[in-house]
Chains A and B, each alone.
Chain A
Amino acid sequence: GAVVSQHPSRVICKSGTSVKIECRSLDFQATTMFWYRQFPKQSLMLMATSNEGSKATYEQGVEKDKFLINHASLTLSTLTVTSAHPEDSSFYICSCGGPGFWQFFGPGTRLTVL
């Protein structure tokens, strides 16, 4: 299957700082990338859908000014959590939709905000 990477895998930051998470599709061009987050013992929740070269579409309840998404190329999307607070601590996962009928997920980024 296709390979999707995320960086960093784990980050700890102080409250009020911003954190950038990168998602890369390593062996195919992803016109669409998805960002999910997962709180402990819960399922994945879709945050936003980003298409290369256009603005992301956010799910209801997700603040677009807080979670900035940039999908500047077919292989890279970034999620920036601005002014992070402890309640933003979560497992953030990206997925890439390439040609075909399935998505490939990254390994996830564990964010801890102190």
Chain B
Amino acid sequence: DAKTTQPTSMDCAEGRAANLPCNHSTISGNEYVYWYRQIHSQGPQYIIHGLKNNETNEMASLIITEDRKSSTLILPHATLRDTAVYYCIVRVPMNYGGSQGNLIFGKGTKLSVKP
């Protein structure tokens, strides 16, 4: 599985956009980029995923560079409830080529949204 590199921590002012970067320079052609977050003492929560096109949903936007070696998760208007550890994971999806689809978590980025 391709490895990812994320900053250890970031701060963001409430109401501003939070831009969380992720490097995945060894990503292969069939690997997707997934983003999850974990609020303290809870299970991880799915945010968004993408292959090569930019994606947007009600929670966030995902911008993937053209060479797919890096991506940015954007929370457009961060709130205090967005304070969490954000994980960027690169993985072949479940059942693709026999993949079991288990997610390998790195250390993630601890995002602190401040009032």
User: For A46, what are the chain B residues with a Cβ–Cβ distance below 8 Å?
Assistant: 102-104
A44 touches B (CB below 8 Å)? yes
Take A46-B102, A46-B104, A49-B102 as given contacts and tell me if A102 and B49 are in contact as well, using a CB distance cutoff of 8 Å. yes
User: For A1, what are the chain B residues with a Cβ–Cβ distance below 8 Å?
Assistant: 46
Take A97-B94, A101-B93 as given contacts and tell me if A107 and B101 are in contact as well, using a CB distance cutoff of 8 Å. no
A110, B41: Cα distance in complex, Å? 9
Report whether A107 and B42 are in contact in the complex, using a CB–CB cutoff of 8 Å: yes
Q: B26-47: which have CB < 8 Å to A?
A: 32, 34, 36, 38, 41-46
A103, B103: Cα distance in complex, Å? 8
A67 touches B (CB below 8 Å)? no
B114 touches A (CB below 8 Å)? no
Q: How many A-B residue pairs have CB under 8 A?
A: 59
Q: In the complex, which residue of chain B has the Cβ closest to the Cβ of A98? A: B94
User: For B105, what are the chain A residues with a Cβ–Cβ distance below 8 Å?
Assistant: 36, 43-45
Take A32-B101, A34-B102 as given contacts and tell me if A104 and B46 are in contact as well, using a CB distance cutoff of 8 Å. yes
B106 touches A (CB below 8 Å)? yes
Report whether A102 and B43 are in contact in the complex, using a CB–CB cutoff of 8 Å: no
Residue tally, chain A, CB below 8 Å to B:
26
A93 touches B (CB below 8 Å)? yes
Residue tally, chain B, CB below 8 Å to A:
23
Could you say which of B43, B94, B104, B108 contacts A106, with CB atoms under 8 Å apart? Answer: B43
Report whether A43 and B45 are in contact in the complex, using a CB–CB cutoff of 8 Å: no
User: For A34, what are the chain B residues with a Cβ–Cβ distance below 8 Å?
Assistant: 102-103
Interface string of A30-52 (1 = CB under 8 A from B): 00101010000001111001000
Q: List 10 A-B contacts (CB under 8 A).
A: A46-B104, A93-B43, A93-B44, A97-B100, A102-B49, A103-B103, A104-B46, A105-B36, A105-B45, A105-B46
Q: Give B residues with C-beta under 8 Å from A.
A: 32, 34, 36, 38, 41-46, 49, 87, 93-94, 100-108
Q: 5 shortest A-B CB distances, which residue pairs?
A: A105-B43, A44-B105, A101-B93, A43-B105, A105-B44
Extra inter-chain contacts (8) besides given A91-B41, A105-B45, CB under 8 Å:
A1-B46, A43-B105, A43-B107, A46-B103, A93-B44, A105-B43, A105-B44, A108-B43
